[in-house]
A and B are shown apart, each in its own frame.
Chain A
Amino acid sequence: MSGPDLAIVGAGPAGLSAAIAARRHGLDVVVIEREGEAGGIPRHCAHPPFGLREFGRVMTGPAYARRLAAAAREAGAEIRTGTTVVAIEPGPRLVLASDAGAGELAPRRVLLATGVRETTRAARLIGGSKPAGVMNTGTLQGLVHLEGRRPFLRPLIVGTELVAFSAILTCRHAGIVPRAMVEAGEAVTARWPAALLPRLLGIPIWRGTALVAIEGERQVNAAVLQGADGRRRRVATDGIVLTGGFRPEATLVRTSHLALDKATGGPEIDQFGRTSDPAIFAAGNVLRPVETAGWCFREGRRMAGFVAASLADALPDPEPSLRLVAADGYAWVLPQRIVGGEGSREGALQLRVTRPLAGRPVVATEPAVRGAPFASRPERRLSFPLAALPAAATGTATIAVEPDEALR
């Protein structure tokens, strides 16, 4: 028995939009989702704005998730919920786990769309005791919106990426009033107008402040904070929400034959979404930390087109390629490999900077290529047109920021 044309791992915005698009290309599609419901992270982001580009109106996350899942089913994709992909092997072959026990699937192509999660307390090496009431935004959203629970009343919100403001909205919904937002850096990471929200709600933002320890036996009762001057103070609070610090949920990549990019934390891909195994593709936030649902939706749709092209043998060979490595100032670059000639230079590189920076991108090919000047901060979108890369370049080249003081 042969498997489907395409198995998609993960039914978030990227996986579901890829499923819809792949059906339109006439492919036979199975989406495998480990949760009981399809929809991915938006299932518990119970606030707008989702869906503006996809469905032409502003929706909450859960409504958007339901709409996407329904559209994928209507398009004829099979969605298997409650089923986990536990391993990916060459073939490709997927090892599955579900109520039925272990199973397997041998599709012609695989698309990985397993998303991102936030950095845990453990990975942040935050000291102190281990009481209840310490969690990431995702867990808080699940508790509030899926389980109707209120795990604390006056938590600290750690971090100021966009998702921290989503945490504040979740708190507001549950009648939770955060004591403060705590930001280790000197500036708020997210852009205005999100950053206006705390002021509107009367929540102070403590900049240059790090959370170093958590206290409490059963429930959190205090947090130890350290200022930029090294001074510590203890603040009464009953919860800690650790926001952001996104990292791809790329366990399947780490435990497989696929190449992992340490910079993004996700699989290495070429501009057609192909991983180091040309039968396995990837899309959505598993590729990098982090993009919006709308971006992931469009990325899934594009990659589905490339999967169809691959099945029709219409993609350029995966080698030779130009391998790009983020350096000096860039945190990561995506895709990491550029293949094919002139005709395959559509689209752009995605980039992020490591720190607030001004300058211009320089790709160290022969000859070197420079891009337009910019000023940016971590977590903000940057791009570089593929068409600007020399068509014949192969080998490895760094892409770095050439600093430009005049732009600051």
Chain B
Amino acid sequence: MPENALPSRRDAPDGRYDVAVIGAGVVGCAIARRFTLDGARVVVLEKAAEVLDGASKANSAILHTGFDAPVGTLEAAAIRAGHAEYLEIRERLGLPLIACGALVVAWTEAEAARLPALVATAHANEVADVVPLSAAEARALEPELGPGVAGAFRVPGEALIDPWSAPHAYLAQALLNGADLRLDAEVRGGRHDGDWRLDTTQGPVRAGLVVNAAGLFGDHVEERLLGASRFAIRPRKGQFLVYDKTAAALASHILLPVPTEITKGIVVCRTAWGNLLVGPTAEEQEDRTTAALDGATLAGLRARAEAILPALKDHEITAIYAGLRPATEEKGYRVRAVPERSYIAVGGIRSTGLSAALGLAQHVRRLWDRPAAPIAAPLWPTLPNLAETATRDWQRPGNGGIVCHCERVTRREIEAALAGPLPARTFAGLKRRTRVTMGRCQGFYCGAALAGLTAGRLAVPMLAEPGDAPDREADDA
């Protein structure tokens, strides 16, 4: 095992866990926390070398209210409950909240005609505080909006969070209170004979209940465990542009378009770190692991962004990325308990999982028939603040100096991310914990220093050790 792998602090005495959660995405992290706080012995099994390596590695970071969710569904209820619990626990965990609200903006008369129905949906979803606005009122709130605004409404509760600190905090709290995390532990199969005996790439694991939170591979895992899957993952890619921090002043609200059946559409919003985000696209694909970027699509996004906020023309694009939604052949979440097999699937959490995770965890907990024996005085980890809205480490003494200049990440922050209950094991993991190299220079200034600082300290090093030189025979025309 690599040296900085997490030590197993509370191995189940008889080698048996009450609950095995498959997948350390935001959904699995929240479920692990809920069960742990309710007194269960939990193990999280993650096939990747690092947590948040699937769908949860790239999203828009919006904490939704659920105003536009399909009425009466589990999704709507989970977003509502998840949003509420996030607000309740975030200060104790040190998690940010940019309570900026959203504007749903119609850009054509046809879109404007659909606004009243969307407001009605919001009311039906218990989001009572939406405010219809005229085009002039919308423009007064967002003076940088481009020409063509035909109408709008405001959703005060929509907010921005850090898409990684939240799940890190959920999992860190589970770990602090006795849960185990096994990385590089792919679940390959399992037998149920009253207890589950899971076959993983890190050896066998025995557990009472199995929760399948395997995201983009949820159907594969279900097939491996039950023989067949009731749902089929259809990955849906979303590409994004990130503009430099100087652009963040151009929008105060989250600017949402009028959604279609397939997608929430191209959003323009700030980020918790003070950048401006534009995206995502919605593109069906077969590949479940690679979210490839496409230059022409990104150029199209830039054109759309400049139509929404013309002043963006003068701002620099600092980052591009893409994520994959674990969508399925149906629209809704695919959550199902199979009590006789002690199995719960939490599948198809496609485009609202960051908001719904805590609510989903409550729901899944209710699907398990064991009584709660909550931990009397659970421990609460506090995550380092990376948001621009609160004091950053560089402002405090003893920080070791700034290493990543664009994002103002200090040496002390980097050291902290390489240690603690949930240390970074890959460079991507270090980026998600600290934001190093994610700013305007993308590592131009600090890339070399980081290679030195992290040498020998990541399970998967920042720079691959080049093996054989690529061969020109491998070219194709």
Contact = CB atoms under 8 A, between A and B. Distances in A.
A217 B290 contact: yes
B475 A121 contact: no
Interface in B336-363: none
B295 A130 contact: no
A135 B441 CA distance: 10
A82 B246 CA distance: 24
Interface string B435-474: 0000011111101110110000000101110101111111
Interface string A164-189: 00000000000001010000000000
Contact of A139 (B291, B295, B448): B448
A100 B401 CA distance: 8
A356 interface: no
B427 interface: yes
Contacts of A213: 292-295
Interface stretch (B80-88, B205-213, B262-270, B392-400): B392-400
B466 A233 contact: no
A92 B394 CA distance: 22
Given A135-B443, A255-B246, A233 B475 contact: yes
Contact-size category for A: 35 or more
Interface in B83-119: none
A234 B464 contact: no
A102 interface: yes
Contacts, number: 169
A133 B476 contact: no
Interface stretch (B318-326, B374-382, B413-421): B318-326
B477 interface: yes
B471 A236 contact: yes
Interface in A81-139: 82-84, 86, 97-102, 117-118, 120-123, 125-130, 132-133, 135-136, 138-139
Contacts of A126: 293, 295
B14 interface: no
A127 B475 contact: no
Contacts of B396: 101-102
Contact of A125 (B320, B472, B474): B320
Contacts of B290: 129, 217
Given A100-B397, A125-B302, A255 B245 contact: yes
Interface residues of B, number: 62
A218 interface: yes
A97 B472 contact: no
A84 B402 CA distance: 8
A104 B246 CA distance: 22
A282 interface: no
Contacts of B400: 99
B224 interface: no
B445 A117 contact: yes
B458 to A, nearest CB: 11
Contacts of B427: 132
A317 B23 CA distance: 67
A151 B463 contact: yes
A262 B314 contact: yes
28 contacts: A34-B405, A84-B394, A84-B405, A101-B399, A102-B396, A120-B444, A122-B317, A122-B442, A123-B318, A127-B295, A127-B297, A128-B292, A130-B293, A132-B464, A135-B443, A136-B442, A138-B445, A149-B463, A152-B466, A177-B469, A179-B470, A213-B292, A218-B464, A234-B475, A237-B470, A238-B466, A249-B441, A251-B406
10 tightest A-B CB contacts, nearest first: A142-B448, A236-B474, A219-B464, A139-B447, A236-B470, A120-B442, A153-B469, A101-B397, A127-B295, A102-B395
Interface of B: 242, 244-246, 289-299, 302, 314, 316-321, 394-402, 405-406, 408, 427, 440-445, 447-449, 451-452, 460, 462-464, 466, 468-477
